[in-house]
Every structure is written in structure tokens, then in C-alpha cells.
Structure 1
Amino acid sequence: MIRRPLRSCGATAALSVALLLSSCTSATRLDGTQGAGSVHDPLFPALGNGGYQVGHYGLALDYDVRGGTLDATADISATAQADLASFQLDLQGMKVHGVRVDGESAEFSRKGHKLTVRPPATVKKGATFRTTVEYDGAPEEMTDADGSTEGWVRTEDGAFVAGQPAGSMTWFPGNNHPGDKAAYDFKITVPDGYTAVANGELRGRKSAEGRTTFEWHSAEPMASYLATATIGKFTVAESRTKSGLPVYTAVDPAEAKESAGPLGKLDEILDWSVKRFGPYPFSSAGAIVDHTPERVDWGALETQTKPVYAGAPDEGTVVHETAHQWFGDSVTPKTWKDIWLNEGFAQYAEWLWEEDKGGRTAQQQFDELYKTAEDDEDDENIWAFPPGDPGTAENVTGQPVYKRGAMVLQQLRKAVGDQDFFAILKDWPAEHRHGNADTQQFIDFCQDRTEVDLTDLFDDWLYGDGKPDWEY
């Protein structure tokens, strides 16, 4: 993700993530045959649910652009990790009309953003079961703990949809935590003349009675926060890279002129990324550039296969979000505390791109940042907290996660040398392809590949308070 400087947001009906996620009062620990209402994420304790692992989401979404309402059905296939007499899904707002488990009507209740489902018979441990939720209503925006806007955001010609960290539950029920990844299919129905863009590949488009249904398929595992169903009047382009990778871009005409240059380099950026980070991890690529309201106060999100840009991106932002396809999308953090594994790597990719194109080296960019004073408010104080331990939800997209996270990698490069470092940049996403990983796994991974003792480096740069010493 790329954050813009915060702007003043007008009055909205947005739900505050800071309030929503400050406690886990609706959660129930896995106990006997109750699925837990939390996975106890250290930064967002009310997100996610225990007792099952989702394998596939099938989302049928019919959107009334003029009224801003959604009529939807979610089919969720999951595997029980315990005997389940009940389990929970995350869904904020909307009205649930009915729930079925394996085709049979199920009792359900709601408290906060938790939808509790009680199937007619206990789902046995190891069984794969299908939950169908029928719901409708006006999807809500959310205000993040840091004050920025996410979720289902209405635009002048549709909706801009982004889910980091919690916004996916504003438009579909699910296990809303990066630790549970699944395949997705989308059927999105909109008025003729509008385009609905989601993750993966467009498998079909059907029109009837003045409405068009777009069918998207995303086969590779995906965290819920990376899902999108962005709707608008886009200019669409479809192409292939030299290696044959399908590329789909959807651009709001208001952003087309300024987007043309950066998006024109997408193929080059993809090819460069493959050389630096290894094989591209998905079966397609692309971009969504929307013209968003002023209250959308961030620049881009690494939506899987198609980053979404809240306005025309610059070249560095395209590099950043493309790198996330390896670091964040394919290799996804186990918890939000590990977010530097996304943002530090994507920030460092920007440094490498500039270095490889004959600009400042990564070391020069490191040096410039290191000179930043500890009380420099203009740079949001990159020494305010350690990137490996953001501490609070408000800090999950703070500058230390990005910039000091990238500095960790530059110090690692200096410590182990270019040969081992650039091997790590390829081997790490290869070893955890389409999975989840945490910071300790990365530390162990690096230490296994060098005889240099990295203990002090990670202790000081990743976890140390304040401005670390320069050299090791």
C-alpha cells in the first residue's frame, strides 16, 4: 500500500476501525464445538475467526449504482479444524436474509461485525462444508485506525473497493484475516455501460435486460484484504507481456492522461521484477485506476493481480505495488504485526528500481534517510517505533514500517553481500509461494544462508527503539 499525506475528511457514515478493533468483546475462544470469534491478531484482535479454514469464496454481487445498494450471495467452502456446532464470519453492516450450511437452513445471529452460524448438525473435524449467506443493503465505508478510508467507497460512477486492513467485511462475509487465504470467483452485475473489475482473469461477460454480469476467477490463494470488486466507467485495455502473461488495465477517463506514462512501463516493471524476485506468482497482472473522492486519502493498494490506484500513480508507486505481488500477496503475513514484510520489501523495490535505472543507489537512499533527525515530524519520524513491532493499529501503515523496513534490508545486503542478498530476494518468495510467513521465519531464513551473525542487526534495526547505530 502507498499512503498519501492525510487530508481533512468530511462528515461520513464511515465506521471507525479504531473503535471496532480496539477490543475483542464479541469473540469466543475455540471451546468444544464453538468456532472462535477471533484469531487474536496482536494489532487487530477482533478480526478473523477460528475453527475452520476457507478454501473458496463464490461471490454473486448485484450492484445498484444509482442507489448504492448491493444484493448479494456468498458461497463459502471451508474445512472444519474442530467439531463445529457453531462458527463465526466477519460481516459489517448489510442485512442477512438467510444462511444455509450444506444446503440446509441454519440459525444465525449477529453482534457487531460477527455473524454467528449454527448449522442444523455439528460439522465434524476434517469435513469440508459449504455456507451460503444471502444478504443485501448499502455497503459501508470504514475509517482506519490511522484515519484513512477503506471498504466499499462510492464514487461518481460506481464504487472503489479496497480492504486493507479490515474493509472486505463491508461487502462480503468471510474469515477476515490474512492468515486464511482462499481462491475466489466473482459474478458482479452492473448496469450496461459500467465495468466491474475483480481479481484474477475475466472468464465471461453476459448482458440481459440492461445489465451486464462480469465473471472473474482467481485461482491462487488470496487474503480477504486483497480482494476487490471495483465498479465504474473505465477504459479497458487487454494485452500480454513478452513472456505471455495476460495484463488487464481499467482506467477512469479522468485519470487516463496522467496514468499513461507510468502504466506504459508496467510490462517493463513486471519483467524487471521477475529478474529481481523470481517467477511472477500469479496467472495474470494489471491495474485499476479510479477517480476517487477526496476522503480516499491514500494512493494505492496491492490488490492481488491488479493493484488499485486512487488516482493516477507515478512510476515508483507502480514499482511498489508490483513488488507486492511477491511480497504481501503471494507471501502474506501471518499477522498484521508482520506488515513490514510487505511494505519494507516494496519500498526497497523502489530503491532497487532507481538504482538499476542509473539513479541513486539503495545505499545513497539509505544514507539520506539515516540523516533524518529523531524528532523530524515532517517525515512522520521514521524512528518513532521499530518496524518489526508497530505496537498499535494506528502504526500499521506508519513510515517506520516502510522506510525503516527498507533500511533493514539495505543493512542486510551490506552484511551478507550482494550475492547472498539477491538470492534471498528470490528464494524467500519461492519458499513461501502462495502461503503465509512471519518475521521470525524470515530472520531464520536469512541466518541459514550466511555465516555472518545477524542477531544484532535484526535486534537493533527491526526491533530496537530509536535510531540504531549505522554499522555492524
Structure 2
Amino acid sequence: MPLEAAPAPAPAPAPSRPRSRRVQAALLASAVSVCLIAASAPSPGTALGIGDRLFPTLGNPGYDVASYDLAFTYSGANDKPLTAVTTIDALTTARLDRVNLDYAHGTVRSVEVNGSPADFASAGDDLVVTPARTLPAGRPLHITVRHTSDPVPAKDQDGGWVRTKDGLAMANQADAAHLVFPCNDHPSDKAMFTFHVTAPEGYTAVANGLPEGTRRAGGTTTWSYRGEHPMATELAQVSIGRSSVLHRTGPHGLPVRDVVPTQDRAALEPWLARTPDQIAWMESKVGRYPFETYGLLMAQAQTGFELETQTLSLFEKDLFTEPAYPKWYVESIMVHELSHQWFGDSVSPRTWSDLWLNEGHATWYEALYAEEKANRPMEKRMKAAYAMSDAWRAAGGPPAAPKGPKPGHKISIFRPNVYDGAALALYALRQEIGRPAFERLERTWVTVNHDGVASTADFVDLASAMAGRDLRSFFKAWLYGEKTPPMPGHPDWKSDTPQARKGA
């Protein structure tokens, strides 16, 4: 998910995960003000955005980011700002007098554009950069921002750094990476990432991608990592803690690395040992794992969610140590985050309204795994979801047209309508076109959109091609209707309205 509040199955024989432990406690514990310091006081400019229906001010027009190089220096105190340098290489797609970056929680010390100092100012959640001269369209753009990165959340901010018991991790969904580093913070502009993290001796730093070596100097170690595939900003991950990195091998020789609190490595090993077989199971459903490595990051934090950060999924350690959670339930949540590596990471949403493609598919494979490995029938879960679907649509909107977030709570877009509600639409699709066509669609979808972005319209077009007939009316009802359509093959299924349930 984004901030994935690991959803309990709709039939819910398992205890649901507590949701009251979200980042609200941290938000209330220590609020600080955003501090973006402008140089030479140019006209502050205005916040821009690419017009996303759910987050209209995030993302920026006029350029396409090719790569980020992020350098963080951690002092050993997770309530103190990190010093940071963000380097962005991009290509202008329009003539620019100013360049807007998304950035809203730190102090900017200096900005350079193409090697020359540039003026800068804050405007809403934007850092507005004014280069010494106008930038023509179609030219390389090199931006260096020296800044701080504050792990203490400001009031009404959601996401960014997560403070753990022994350090930090990241949770940048939805569109919260700009609370950590300047960026074009929208999943439609994916880019390559390199990380350099400096921390005192005794700490271990891990990030997305593969390690590129370490350098020790003056009682600190600098850890470098580089991803081999483009990534959305929301999927960036940096872990700093007193951790051990455990290594094993997955299918086809895939490097699997897990990051765990050192004192808990023995207790967590039985869970971690399941990952290679889970990867093999997913590959049997949709094809080859799409990235260069995978693993789990076990955070000593109470977040209330799990998160599919690319190549290194973030989990609460308590998910694996709380005896109330059945084994099958924990494993299905592991598969939920793993399946996101295909659905949401390799194939990213073009807009946040396409979120159902991420969460619906992850929920689908979570449920399918529980059916095949733990005898938890998919049909039973889908029937229960159908009964709730009208209520979910009333509360959160239909799957492909979700209602906007609550003010100051971006992760509130992650409602049941985009989890089990969206998986229900996929179940209806399989009922409508048959299992063979559905399974071909799933494999083709992640193949043709590998390392890219895709929309609901793209999925509808591909599904129609796989089925050999126009499915636009089917999807219009299932993805955009206020009421849940009849389930193909199950005319007896009923969905209760919120009013009916209230009066029951």
C-alpha cells in the first residue's frame, strides 16, 4: 500500500490489525514548523502541480527527472535534522524561467542550477528555484540542493521519515517524499536513484537497490546504494539503525536481503526464510520478479501499516512477534507487499485515482495465496466483500474514483474501496472473461508496462483485447458506479446499503 494499513481479510476470522497506532501519535508528540529559507528574496512565485485529482499541487510541469542522487548524514539522534544534498538530473520539456520542486520540511541552504547559484523561495509545498538565466526546452537540467531533512513531523504532515526505536526509516506514501528531499513528487515521473548515507559507527544504513560499497572516516561510515530500475519518489527507502542485514538466495539466483534489529534476528528468521518460496509463487502467477533484489525491513516502530518500498518492503516488527496473528494471515500480508513489486512499483499508477490497480491487485494475490496455501476460500472472502461494497463506495467512492483525502491526512485515501473493493472488481472480471483470459491479462499487464506508469484506461483497453470484446461498459459499472453491479455467476449475492445496515 502506501501507508499500508495491512488490511485484515473481509471474512475476518483473524484479528484485525490495530489502526489507532498510526503516525498520529508521532505527529502530536512533537510538531515543528516548516522552515524554508529564501535567498536574496526573489518574488516567491507560486505553487504549481500537474493537476492530479487527489493531490493537485504535487508534481511539477516543465521537466522530466532522469535521476536523483541523495546524500544524508545522520548524527545518531532521530529527533535532529539530517544534513543532506539532493542532486537532480532532468530534461526540460518547456521553456522555464523558474523550476518548481516539491519540498516542504527542512531548511534549504543553497541551490545551484547547471553549476551556477540560483535564487529560491518557498510557496506552499513547493521550493521555487529561479536560475540565473531562462532554461530552454529540451535541454539537460542539473540541480543541486543543500538542505536539512527533518525527521520530526510538522503539524498536519503525513509520512516521510519514520522514527524507529533505534533510528529511522522512510514511509513516503502518499506523495510524502517531499517531506524528506526536494523532488518531483508524483508517481508518473519515475527516475533512477542513488543513495549515500553517513552514520556513526555501530549503525547500519540500507536503501533501495544494491550496495555499492562503504567508506569509513572519522568514526562514521558512508553506505552507498544504487537502484537498477526507475522508481517513483513515494517508494524510496532508507533505513538507519542498529541492524543486521541477512542474506539468502531467491529464484534464479535473486539476491534477497533482509534488514532486522540485531537482537531479533533469530526470532525473525523463520518468517524471513519464507520469502524465496513466496517470490517463486508470485512468479508462477505473473512472471519473473521485476527487480534486482528483494527483502523485508523490520522496523521497531508502531506505524499501523506495512509499505511496499521498492526492493525493500517496510514492515512493523510486531506483525511477526504478536502471537494473536495467525501464521496464514501474516504470510498473506507478506505476499501483499511482495505483489506490489509488480503492481504499484514496476507498474506505477499514472494518477493517484489509479491506486486501485496497486491495492486491488495486491489484495487479490494476498487472498489467492491464502486460498491456495491456507484453505481460505477466495469466493467466501469476495462474497463478504460484496456485502460491504455499497457501504465502501458510499464512504470512499468507487474503486477508480476514490474520494479525496482528509485534510492533513493523505493516507486516508487508502480505504476499503481500493483494497477488497477493488479486488472484488478483479473477481468480477475473472467471472466475466474466464480464468484463462484473466491470467493472460495479468501476465501481459506487468510485462508490457514493466518499469513504466499505466492508467485505468490502459487496463481497460488491455482487458478488452485479452477478452476479445469491448469491456468498457463492464468496467464503467464496476470501477465508477455508485452501486455495486450484480456479480457474474452469483446473482444471489447482495450488498447492503449503509442505511440498511444502520437500521439493522
TM-score > 0.5, shorter chain as reference = yes
- Deviations for 1:300-356, whole angstroms, at most 9, x for unmatched residues? 111001111122442111100110000000100011111001000000011221233
Aligned to 2:173: 164
How many residues align structurally? 447
Mapped to 2, the partners of 1:164 and 1:222 lie a distance apart of 13
Q: In the alignment, which of 35, 43, 48 is matched to residue 37 of structure 1?
A: 48
The within-5 A match list for 1:256-335 is: 256=265, 259-292=268-301, 294=302, 296-298=303-305, 300-313=306-319, 314-335=330-351
Mapped to 2, the partners of 1:342 and 1:207 lie a distance apart of 40
User: Structure 1: where are the runs of 5+ without partners?
Assistant: 18-25, 29-35
The yes-or-no answer on 1:58 pairing with 2:69 is yes
Identity among equivalent pairs (%)? 35
Aligned to 1:429: 446
- Which amino acid letter does the alignment assign opposite residue 82 of structure 1? A
The yes-or-no answer on 1:83 pairing with 2:88 is no
- Larger strand proportion of the pair: 1
Mapped to 2, the partners of 1:114 and 1:227 lie a distance apart of 19
- Which amino acid letter does the alignment assign opposite residue 433 of structure 2? V
Asked whether the 8 Å contact 1:415–1:452 carries over to 2, the reply is: no
Q: CA deviation at 1:94?
A: 1.1
Cα RMSD over matched residues?
Answer: 2.4
Mapped to 1, the partners of 2:424 and 2:436 lie a distance apart of 18
Aligned to 2:398: 386
SS of the equivalent of 1:165 reads: coil
- Deviations for 1:75-119, whole angstroms, at most 9, x for unmatched residues? 100000011121111111211111111111111111232111111
SS of the equivalent of 2:295 reads: strand
Mapped to 2, the partners of 1:80 and 1:99 lie a distance apart of 17
Aligned to 1:467: 484
Aligned to 1:7: 20
Aligned to 1:418: 435
Mapped to 2, the partners of 1:285 and 1:54 lie a distance apart of 25
Q: In the alignment, which of 468, 471, 483 is matched to residue 454 of structure 1?
A: 471
Between 86-95 and 398-407, the greater mean CA deviation after superposition: 86-95
Asked whether the 8 Å contact 1:331–1:437 carries over to 2, the reply is: yes
Aligned to 1:236: 245
How high is the TM-score relative to the length of structure 2? 0.84
SS of the equivalent of 1:272 reads: helix
- Deviations for 1:256-312, whole angstroms, at most 9, x for unmatched residues? 4664333221000111111111121111111111110x4x222x1110011111224
SS of the equivalent of 1:462 reads: helix
Aligned to 1:342: 358
Distance 1:442 1:319, change over 3 A: same
Aligned to 1:31: none
Mapped to 1, the partners of 2:337 and 2:63 lie a distance apart of 30
Between 257-266 and 274-283, the greater mean CA deviation after superposition: 257-266
Mapped to 2, the partners of 1:264 and 1:143 lie a distance apart of 40
Asked whether the 8 Å contact 2:103–2:126 carries over to 1, the reply is: yes
The within-5 A match list for 1:135-146 is: 135-136=147-148, 138-141=150-153
- Which amino acid letter does the alignment assign opposite residue 312 of structure 2? K
User: Structure 2: where are the runs of 5+ without partners?
Assistant: 6-16, 35-43, 320-329, 407-411, 490-504
Mapped to 1, the partners of 2:245 and 2:307 lie a distance apart of 19
Aligned to 1:247: 256
SS of the equivalent of 1:230 reads: strand
SS of the equivalent of 2:151 reads: coil
- Which amino acid letter does the alignment assign opposite residue 335 of structure 1? T
Aligned to 1:131: 143
Mapped to 2, the partners of 1:159 and 1:457 lie a distance apart of 45
Distance 1:143 1:226, change over 3 A: farther
- Larger helix proportion of the pair: 2
